[in-house]
Amino acid sequence: MTQQEFESVLLCSGGLDSTTLAYWLRERGVSFVPLFLDYGQHCAHTERSRLARVLPEDAASRVVTVDVSDVYRGTESRLISEPNLWHEEVEDKDLYLPYRNLFMLTAGAAYAQARGIGKVYAAFINSSHAREIDCSAAFFNSLGDLLKDYGAIEIEMPFREMSKKEVAQLGISLGAPIALTFSCQLSSSTPCGACPNCVERLDALADLA
């Protein structure tokens, strides 16, 4: 199957949400190209290698990696410059990366349109930890309308109104290997357990116990 024959593009990171979305799409018979964006995040190697373990087998073999790391090269964001957690304190504001979600969605839309694919799926959720301007429902709705009107690309975010706990529950019901997923913001190898992503994940899994 050529890329033009796929119905959609899935933005995937090896995290719980996008992994669950991959299994959600498979259950519905929606064909997709798994697209991994290397924007210079210090955990890119871990995220990329994790995809081979967490995606459905057929999808794991066709992951496309796009390197856009020059955009954020040199930034002080701790998403790019990994901190030494033994000696450095990190605040939420240190994890800010300008227009990251906007960049990821438009890059996914550009990739899709260039290959005649009409939909981009993203696993953004209703996060209680998100602070970025481009994380609000209003932003996502406006961007979705813009990309559809100017480019005919539909942005699909089926988990947008769901909590992390609800996504985790769904992932378990679909047989997704959520225990193997990785989404830490501060450590490139071992989850720190303290960053917003880790806290939200751990809270969700604890609620399921």
The dihedral region occupied by 74, where left means phi > 0, alpha psi between -120 and 50, and beta the remainder, is left
3-class secondary-structure state, position 148: helix
How much is the pTM? 0.91
Instruction: Determine the pLDDT at residue 34.
Output: 98
H helical segments located in the chain: 16-27, 44-54, 57-60, 100-114, 137-149, 164-174, 196-208
pLDDT given at position 1: 57
Cα separation, 124 vs 178, whole angstroms:
16
User: Rounded to whole angstroms, how far apart are CA atoms 164 and 204?
Assistant: 6
Can you give the residue ranges of every domain in the chain? 3-208
CB 4 within 8 A of CB 108: no
pLDDT of the chain, 209 residues: tens digit per residue: 566 689 999 999 999 999 999 999 999 999 999 999 999 999 999 999 999 999 999 999 999 999 999 999 999 999 999 998 889 888 888 988 888 888 999 999 999 999 999 999 999 887 655 555 556 666 777 766 777 777 788 999 999 889 899 999 999 999 999 999 999 999 999 999 989 899 989 998 888 87
The class level of CATH for 3-208 reads alpha beta
